[in-house]
Amino acid sequence: MSIGTPDLSALAPEIAVAVGAMAVLVLDLLLPKQQRRYLVYLSLLTTVVAGWECAQLWGRSEYHLYNMLALDDYRLAVDAVILVGTALAILMSGSYLAREEMDRGEYYPLMLFAALGMMLMAGGLNLVVIFVGLETLSVSLYILCAFARGRIVSSEAGMKYLLIGSFATAFLLYGIVLVYAATGSTSLVGINQFLSKHSVVGNHMLFAGIGLLVVGFGFKVAAFPFHIWTPDVYEGAPTPVTAAMAVGVKAAAFAGFARVFISAFGPVQPLWQPILWWLAVLTMTLGNVVALAQTNIKRMLAYSSIAHAGYILIALVTNTPEAMSALIYYLLAYTLMTAGAFGVSILFSGKGDTGYSIYDYAGLGFRYPWIGAAMTVFMVSLAGFPPTAGFFAKFYLFSAAVQQGLTSIVVIAVINSVISVYYYFRVVVLMYMQRRDAEEPRITLKAYGPVGLAVGLAAAAVLLVGILPAGILELAKSSGMLALSLP
């Protein structure tokens, strides 16, 4: 490990995203209206360049910007997951925005700036840096949620996310202030050193700060009882934005959550571990039980995301290198299958964001066999059946918890996974075992080719990562080990 002075090469992926976002913003002003459709390709190129920069930095284990930014495989692995989710969301956006007549150039810079904030959260070694990343992604998503200005549900989604998100941000910021007051530092290194040398008995200011940080991060990962915004915002926001929120925000928030609690608050693990244990159990149970009653595919996937947040919290409760490796693998699998499922919902929806009822999927598996097959892959993977990525993600995560003696929470998680089979497979049954009475949507390759490509790539990746998990798991192991280390 080396403790470095300012080195902009450590920020190469973030710089690439920021420059790409500003380039798209400027070109939107300069290009004729009929040529602005090319902005989507420049945005995709930005994610590719940033991904290439991550690959170039892989294997380095350093700390930069006066120990405020980590350059390690953990950060780079999460950055890669965020960039994959962002790229899939952007690929889905062009056809969707054209159909909904809201193809405005500021959309793509906002998506990229949101990704930039997510990446800062993944690499932050200081509570202030993590907060800045959180606010960067939040402000962008507040606007994107309300991007469909002609629809009341979109404006409502933006307003709800803004109001509730502002409260959550206040909790997080107040928590940072209390932790600083209790430990004298906002650096994760400084907090860890203070807690390692001093007794925390009777340090009520520290206890309150940790509690408020749980609230702030709990909101972003949609954990119970801070999940209340999720179904309404997911349903009302433009679907590609929902996909980006469901995968990228969750990956970034869990990366920051793990970095803060495991690295900084590791010495007081007995203090926060029981809280996260109950948070995980209640989150996965509520998500799965309430999802059973949903008939809107976006709301169903919203409660599904809540349930998966509960599963992922098991990694933080376990707090071992194996659990952190499983966390990285799970985030990748979740990104692929959830983004793909939202892509299919775009294909099967109609203008005005109609056609999201699960009953609208009746018989579509026969008329569009490839799309139906892709949706089946996503539903089977979300339920956790082999040989998909979702199965191995749960297997590795649950195995790490069992090795630490956390059998009870794994049993609860397995029961919840069984419950989830009903609402995931209900979509598959409707696609292949019921006839559709209403007129079916017309899906043409010319209009929806990029969305179909995104869905196809996601489905292939879900199967590939599931059938051949060794390579991804090895990369996850090297990054998971570094999630627990500090300079």
**pLDDT of amino acid 291:** 92
63-119 pLDDT per residue, tens: 777 778 888 888 898 999 999 999 999 998 888 888 877 877 788 899 999 999 999
The confidence score (pLDDT) of residue 466 equals: 86
- Pairing mode, strands 69-71 and 62-64: antiparallel
The C-alpha atoms of residue 31 and residue 25 are separated, in whole angstroms, by: 10
The strand order across the sheet containing 69-71 reads 2-3, 62-64, 69-71
Q: State the Cα–Cα distance between residues 154 and 144, nearest whole angstrom.
A: 9
**For residue 397, is it within any domain?**
yes
Q: Is residue 281 part of a domain?
A: yes
Contact 412, 319 (CB under 8 A): no
Instruction: Give the containing element (helix H, strand E) for 278.
Output: helix 269-291
Which alpha helices (H) appear in 349-482, and where do they start and end? Answer: 364-367, 369-383, 389-403, 407-433, 445-467, 470-482
Question: What pLDDT was estimated at residue 480?
Answer: 64
Q: What is the DSSP string of 383-394?
A: HT-TTSHHHHHH
Distance of alpha carbon 147 from the chain centroid: 20
In a domain, 286, yes or no: yes
pTM for the predicted model, two decimal places: 0.91
- Per-residue confidence (pLDDT) for residue 3, from 0 to 100: 47
Residue 487 lies inside a defined structural domain of this protein:
no
Whether the bond into 386 is cis, omega within 30 of 0: no
pLDDT of residue 237: 86
pLDDT for residue 304: 92
225 prior amide bond cis, ω within 30:
yes
Q: Which of 2-6, 120-124, 166-170, 175-179 has the highest mean predicted lDDT (pLDDT)?
A: 175-179
**Which domain does 401 fall in, by range?**
2-482
DSSP code for 441: P
Instruction: Give how many domains the chain has, as a whole number.
Output: 1
Q: Is the pLDDT of residue 6 over 70?
A: no
User: How does DSSP classify residue 444?
Assistant: -
Answer yes or no: is pLDDT of 2 > 50: no
pLDDT in tens, 311-357: 999 999 998 888 888 899 999 999 999 999 999 988 887 777 777 88
pLDDT mean across residues, the chain: 86
Nearest Cα neighbor of 349 from 297, 391, 393, 289 is 297
CB 259 within 8 A of CB 159: no
Percent of the chain residues past pLDDT 90, beyond the cut: 36
351 domain-assigned: yes
Q: Is the pLDDT of residue 126 over 50?
A: yes
Asked, for residue 90, whether it belongs to a domain, the answer is yes
Q: What is the C-alpha separation between 250 and 305, in angstroms, rounded?
A: 9
Residue 20's contacts (CB-CB under 8 Å, 6 or more residues apart) are 42, 43, 45, 46, 47, 49, 50, 112
Length of the chain: 487
Number of Cβ within 10 Å of residue 35's Cβ equals 10
Give the pLDDT band of residue 481 (cuts 50, 70, 90): low
